[in-house]
Structure 1
Amino acid sequence: MQQHHHHVNYLELPARNLAQTKAFFSQVFAWHFTDYGPDYAAFSNSGVLGGFFQSDKTSNTDNGAALVVLYSSDLEQTLAAVETAGGKIKQAIFSFPGGRRFHFIEPSGNELAVWSDN
């Protein structure tokens, strides 16, 4: 992977339960994982490289965390997949200038969003 000066290169998020979080993102978004010991799992096939580290904390906009926003070409299908895999919808699909999106909480308690331009 080519590195670009000053581009976002890696993203790390907390995870209360690494196994559940890995299963969720594998099932819903087809992310791939590489374990580095019992407390860290790196992910790929997500658009940016990153990892989850074992922590009791969560990343949530209610406590001022940055929001990770994923893209979907079929927002309703992705919302259904999130729910089927055990994610909780925090904010139902809504419109904004440029598209639509929803927010969800994954099994470890982190908030993410998914958007679509259609």
Structure 2
Amino acid sequence: MDQHNKINYLEIPVKDLAQTKHFFNQAFGWDFTDYGPEYSCFNHAGITGGFYLSSHSFELSTGSVLIVIYSDDLLESISGVEGAGGTVSKPVFSFPGGKRFHFKDPNGNEFGVWSQ
């Protein structure tokens, strides 16, 4: 739902669109709507957004924003990430409010997954 002055959409750079779609579908169950050969919108991810072809990637060490996904089961999410070809870049740790881990997708982009 579009809401005035609210974050509405994310655009994420990826090096391989087909591999990225496969990874996020397998790891998190997202599906996609393609808009040409260089852009795909992700659906059922909590917020809509798109992946676009780029030679760039993002990670916290370069000052990037961290995109964080919620999970009911961190161990299941770790298995999903690794099974889909991602790598855990920061093992599960506690923080005020819960626990989380970080992973890199096949493009080298860093994401977080958290749970209460």
TM interval, short-chain normalised: over 0.9
In structure 2, the partner of 1:20 is 19
Paired amino acid for 2:24: F
Which position in structure 2 is the counterpart of 1:116?
115
- Give unmatched runs, 5+ long, in structure 1: none
Matched positions, count = 116
With normalisation by structure 2, the TM-score equals 0.98
DSSP 3-state at the match of 1:76:
helix
Amino acid in structure 2 at the alignment position of 1:7: K
User: Structure 1 stretches (4+) deviating beyond 6 angstroms?
Assistant: none
Measured in 2, the distance between the counterparts of 1:33 and 1:59 equals 21
Structure 1 residues 4-23: Cα deviation after superposition (integer angstroms, max 9, x where no partner): 11111000000001111100
Question: What displacement does 1:62 show?
Answer: 1.1
How far is the alpha carbon of 1:110 from its aligned partner?
0.6
- What is the identity percentage for the equivalent residue pairs of Structure 1 and Structure 2? 50
> 2:41 maps to which residue?
42
Amino acid paired to 2:23: F
Query: Normalized against structure 1, the TM-score is what?
Result: 0.96
In structure 1, the residue matched to 2:77 is: 78
Superposed displacement of residue 32, structure 1? 1.0
Query: Structure 1 residue 60: deviation in Å?
Result: 0.9
RMSD of aligned residue pairs (Cα, Å): 0.6
Letter in 2 for 1:48: I
Other structure's SS at 1:58 match: coil
